[in-house]
A and B are shown apart, each in its own frame.
Chain A
Amino acid sequence: MTALLDIRGLTIDIARDGGPARVVDGIDLAIQQGESVGIVGESGCGKSLTMLSLVGLLPNRIRATGGSAMFGGRDLLKLGPKELRKVRGSEIGFIFQDPMTSLNPVIRVGDQIAEALIWQKGLAKEAAQARAVELLELVGIPGPAERARAWPHELSGGMRQRVMIAMGLAGHPRLLIADEPTTALDVTIQAQIVDLVRELKDKMQMAVVWITHDLALIAGLADRIAVLYAGTVVEDAPVSAIFERPTHPYTRGLLASLPTLAGAAMERLPSIGGTPPEPGRRPPGCPFAPRCAHAVAACAEAVPRLAPVPGSDPRHRVACPVMTERAAA
Chain B
Amino acid sequence: MSLLSYRRVRKSFGTRVVLDSIDLEVDRGQVITLIGASGSGKSTLLRCTNLLEPIDDGEIWFDGVDISEPGRKPDPVRRRIGMVFQSFNLFPHMTVLENVTLAPRKVLGRHRRDADDRARAMLDRFGLADKADDYPDRCSGGQQQRVAIVRALQMDPEVMLLDEITSALDPELVGEVLEVVRGLRGQGMTMLLATHEMAFAREISDQVCFLKDGRIHEHGSPEQIFTMPARQETRDFLARVIASGRM
Answer yes or no: do A and B interact.
no
